[in-house]
Amino acid sequence: MFTSKISGLGHYVPENVVTNDDLSKVMDTNDTWIQERTGIKERRHIKKGDGNSTSVMAVKASTIALERANLSPEDIDMIVFATLSPDMYFPGGGVQVQELMGMRTIPALDVRNQCSGFVYAMSVADQFVKTGMYKNILVIGAENHSGGLDFTTRGRSVSVIFGDGAGAAVVSRNEGEGGILSTHLHSEGEHKDQLSLQGPSTEYWVPEIIEKNPQEDIPYYPYMNGQFVFKHAVVRFAEVINEGLKANNLEASDIDMLIPHQANLRISQFIQKKMRLRDDQVFNNIQKYGNTTAASIPIALSEAWEEGKIKKGDLVVLAAFGSGFTWGSVIMRW
Ligand code: UT7
């Protein structure tokens, strides 16, 4: 059995900054509400004509990750791509990255686990590297939310939260100490409707949606039962971090850097307090980018690394919770 490690990280966000004040011009919201409830000051949105899409942003982040891993596209043995906002309904984003980066006819696997997507994707990559089947796997989280949100007052409790962006990690066979120590994944489908986008789908086909009166509750915008999700998130985050620590005989005080999925700054602060972590043990950047779902952890991890906040030998923990519900953690020695 081998072990795996992250050999390169990269991230990309669109240039177009959308502030809370910008949103308050198109819907009934305000900077105070958004900052007090979520911690978000601004987010990035793809601008029509800027050339970005989910897969294009994924390629931009991946190119940086590959450079930092000192690898070229032909060195990659597999792509694992997590997104809930692919460019096309099918095929998934993985094959688009394979084409755009001129990669060999390697497998491209798409992961549909929303906010937990990157953690699930890391776990998949870890298993393939551990068994010796592959040496270098490109793991991506990328989202284009802005095109599919309701920017009227009706959608304000969801649309002010989400942003666009991409992050990527190269997971490679580990020749030294440490690397990924363990991954832990969970789901609870009974809460699938609490944070969901129901159509277009085989339940709500496009003609049916078009026929419906726009005044009806048409399920083509995301729905979130915010308080219900919040309450479950704070419990599951702490639970799955502790599960990972316990599996490795570690304590919360051993964590050098916790990168929580950037769902809401209040959730991160709640977990930090619950786990008695210092400010320097937790990284948050939701203030600048909003919640970028599957992209939030790799963007935050890449930014923390760039800022020199992750050093060799550090215990790094990734943790996520979101739609499904799904949740998970990755425990790594850098
Ligand atoms: O990443 C995946 C996982 N997602 C999460 O973990 C998100 C979890 N949930 C949350 O982060 C929070 O529940 C939200 C930020 C989504 C909402 O915050 P909240 O404190 O739960 O607010 P609420 O939904 O209970 O709404 C409170 C009030 C309502 O008005 P009334 O009924 O009290 O008059 C809303 O209509 O705030 C109103 N409201 C807004 N006001 C201004 C909702 N959205 C907005 C808005 N601007 N954008």
DSSP 226-253: HHHHHHHHHHHHHHHHHHHHHHTT--GG
End-of-domain residue from the set 177, 203, 228: 177
Same domain, 26 and 120: yes
Range 134-164 burial, b when 16+ CB lie within 10 A, else e? bbbbbbbbbbbbbeebebeeeebbbbbbbbb
- pLDDT at 210 (0 to 100): 79
Q: How far is CA 19 from CA 25, 32, 61, 106, 287, in A?
A: 10, 12, 23, 40, 10
Same domain, 42 and 58: yes
Find the 1 Cα to ligand 1 centroid distance in Å. 47
CA 56 vs. chain centroid, Å, equals 16
Find the 37 Cα to ligand 1 centroid distance in Å. 7
Range 181-212 burial, b when 16+ CB lie within 10 A, else e? bbbbbbeeeebeebbebbbbeeebeeeebeee
Longest CA–CA span in the chain (Å) reads 61
Phi, psi dihedrals of residue 224, rounded to the nearest 5°: -140, 125
Pick the residue whose CA is nearest to atom 16 on ligand 1. 226
Question: Ligand 1: which of 119, 157, 266, 299 to mutate, most ligand atoms within 8 Å of CB?
Answer: 157
DSSP 8-state assignment for residue 90: S
Q: Which atom of ligand 1 is nearest to the CA of 323?
A: 2
37 lines ligand 1 (CB under 6 A): yes
> By residue range, what is the domain housing residue 117?
4-177
Q: By three-state DSSP, how is residue 267 classified?
A: helix
End-of-domain residue from the set 177, 194, 228: 177
- pLDDT at 309 (0 to 100): 98
Rg of the chain (C-alpha set): 19
258 lines ligand 1 (CB under 6 A): no
CA atoms within 13 A on the CB side of 185: 15
Find the 321 Cα to ligand 1 centroid distance in Å. 17
Question: Into how many domains does the chain fold?
Answer: 2
According to DSSP, the residues that pair with 82 across neighbouring strands are 111, 141
Question: What tokens does 241 get?
Answer: 């971090």
227 lines ligand 1 (CB under 6 A): yes
Same domain, 168 and 310: no
263 lines ligand 1 (CB under 6 A): yes
Same domain, 17 and 63: yes
332 lines ligand 1 (CB under 6 A): no
Find the 157 Cα to ligand 1 centroid distance in Å. 5
In the chain, DSSP finds a helix count (H) and a strand count (E) of 11, 13
Contact by Cβ (8 Å): 284, 274: no
According to DSSP, the residues that pair with 215 across neighbouring strands are none
What are the tens digits of pLDDT across the range 290-334?
A: 999 999 999 999 999 999 999 999 999 999 999 999 999 999 999
Same domain, 68 and 212: no
Same domain, 193 and 171: no
Contact by Cβ (8 Å): 139, 14: no
Find the 287 Cα to ligand 1 centroid distance in Å. 16
223 lines ligand 1 (CB under 6 A): no
Question: What tokens does 131 get?
Answer: 């068994």
Same domain, 161 and 186: no
Same domain, 167 and 24: yes
Query: For residue 275, which of 238, 300, 314, 324 has the smallest C-alpha distance?
Result: 238
CATH number of the domain within which 233 lies: 3.40.47.10
Pick the residue whose CA is nearest to atom 5 on ligand 1. 263
Q: Name 273's Cβ contacts closer than 8 Å, sequence gap at least 6.
A: none
- Give the catalytic positions in this structure: 115, 261, 291
End-of-domain residue from the set 147, 177, 207: 177
Pick the residue whose CA is nearest to atom 20 on ligand 1. 37
Pick the residue whose CA is nearest to atom 9 on ligand 1. 226
267 lines ligand 1 (CB under 6 A): yes
Residues of the chain with pLDDT under 50: none
- pLDDT at 189 (0 to 100): 98
- pLDDT at 218 (0 to 100): 65
Same domain, 107 and 34: yes
Same domain, 164 and 187: no
Q: Give the DSSP per-residue string, 178-192.
A: -EEEEEEEEE-GGGG
Prior bond to 325 cis, omega within 30? yes
- pLDDT at 204 (0 to 100): 84
Query: For residue 323, which of 212, 190, 156 has the smallest C-alpha distance?
Result: 190
Same domain, 91 and 164: yes
Find the 23 Cα to ligand 1 centroid distance in Å. 15
DSSP 8-state assignment for residue 279: G
